[in-house]
Amino acid sequence: MSIEKFGYALPGIKQSAAHIAEATGADETFVAEKVGLKTRYILGDQESGISLSIRACEDLFEKAPDLRDRVELLVCVTQNPDRKLPQNSAGIAAGLGLPNNIASFDISLGCSGYVYALSIVEGFLATTGLKNAVLVTADPYSRIMASEDRDTNAIFGDAATATWIRAGEGRSTVLARDFGTDGAGGDAIEVPAGGALRPHVNLTMGHDDVTTWSREEERLHMRGRAVFNFVMQRVPASIDACLEQAGLARGDIDWYALHQGSLYMLDALAKRAQLPGEKVLKNMQKYGNTVSSTIPLLLAELDENAKLGDATVLLSGFGVGLSWATVILKFE
């Protein structure tokens, strides 16, 4: 498997830390310095996860003009599709005008989704003989956040990315990988209602007897301290496991592309895992926590600044599930 190029797109509404602080009642200094969010982008009324994903793919096709006619697989990582069904990947493929003989499917994962999806796409290409895939990430949390909830609304932003992955040898090589899941802690990040277990029938059918709990429980709920403790416990060990597999020391890694949960969490994780601070990438300040898009956004920025060539990069995503995934890539 080789990762070749990246595309991305940001939605139309840009918000500042001051705007977010006013909406949530949080202190602006807390939002800008501890959370680390100075600006973020969220979907407008006429935008959707699919429309943003199409823009990200078009950005990728501009950078790789001959790719559009060679796409054989399109995969979308999201837990907030435009509709419960059909899958977003089908709508993205249609919007791009791709032929109907391509394979497509969605992956329901959150902040670890991009790293998981790299291996899923690699396996799919290897077993089918297909050559070229586009991996899309788009998880618009703005659609499931309560505007007044400082625990979520002061953290997340929206974005979409598109990554060209090619079978066989190429620009990048996988050196090591590690995965894990702690489902017992899954309620630390959840949307309790709206699924098959607790469907929100009354609201969707237009009834008047919608209860307060049903509205609230279809919003994102997060217990920040539990998530922080999970990250501090699990992710350093995952990083160690990958370094050991690859026979590398911390200093051998050129860049650490870690999920941008919050600036406070990122700094604490780097300290706990004893990572060289100057090698830990950060873009939380510009975009917020964009869920499965944080890591590919970091890679796209590296590529745009010509810092990805001949680099060894460790990626680690962690969050919803609770789950984590780490991989080390060598770029040529």
**Total residue count of the chain as it appears in this document:** 332
Q: Give pLDDT, residue 212.
A: 45
Q: pLDDT band at residue 213, thresholds of 50, 70 and 90? A: very low
pLDDT digits (tens, 9 = 90+) for 14-56: 999 998 888 888 888 888 888 888 999 999 999 999 999 999 9
Tokens 């595309």 belong to 7
Q: Give pLDDT, residue 282.
A: 97
Q: Give pLDDT, residue 3.
A: 98
pLDDT, averaged across the chain: 93
Q: Residues with Cβ < 8 Å from 231, sequence gap 6 or more?
A: 261, 265, 269, 318
Q: Give pLDDT, residue 63.
A: 97
Q: Give pLDDT, residue 22.
A: 87
**Which residue would you say has higher pLDDT here, 37 or 215?**
37
Q: Which of 20-29, 36-45, 191-200, 224-233 has the lowest mean pLDDT?
A: 191-200
pLDDT digits (tens, 9 = 90+) for 240-269: 999 999 999 999 999 999 999 999 999 999
**Average pLDDT of the residues in 306-326:** 97
| Structural domains in the chain plus CATH codes | 2-169 (3.40.47.10), 174-185+221-331 (3.40.47.10)
- Per-residue three-class SS string for the chain: CEEEEEEEECCCEEEEHHHHHHHHCCCHHHHHHHHCCCEEEECCCCCCHHHHHHHHHHHHHHHCCCCHHHCCEEEEECCCCCCCCCCHHHHHHHHHCCCCCCEEEEECCCCCHHHHHHHHHHHHHHHHCCCEEEEEEECCHHHCCCCCCHHHHCCECCCEEEEEEECCCCCEEEEEEEEEECHHHHHHEECCCCCCCCCCHHHHCCCCCCCHHHHHCCCCEECHHHHHHHHHHHHHHHHHHHHHHHCCCHHHCCEEEECCCCHHHHHHHHHHCCCCHHHECCCHHHHCECHHHHHHHHHHHHHHCCCCCCCEEEEEEEECCCEEEEEEEEEC
Residue 203 has pLDDT above 60, yes or no: no
pLDDT digits (tens, 9 = 90+) for 95-104: 999 999 999 9
Q: pLDDT band at residue 184, thresholds of 50, 70 and 90? A: very high
Q: What's the pTM?
A: 0.94
Q: pLDDT band at residue 200, thresholds of 50, 70 and 90? A: low
Query: How much of the chain exceeds pLDDT 90, in percent?
Result: 79
pLDDT digits (tens, 9 = 90+) for 109-164: 999 999 999 999 999 999 999 999 999 999 999 998 877 777 788 899 999 999 99
Spatial separation of the C-alpha atoms in residues 314 and 177, rounded to whole Å: 9
pLDDT digits (tens, 9 = 90+) for 258-306: 999 999 999 999 999 999 999 999 999 999 999 999 999 999 999 999 9
Q: pLDDT band at residue 210, thresholds of 50, 70 and 90? A: very low
Spatial separation of the C-alpha atoms in residues 214 and 207, rounded to whole Å: 13
**Which residue would you say has higher pLDDT here, 156 or 204?**
156
Q: pLDDT band at residue 196, thresholds of 50, 70 and 90? A: confident
Residue 215 has pLDDT above 70, yes or no: no
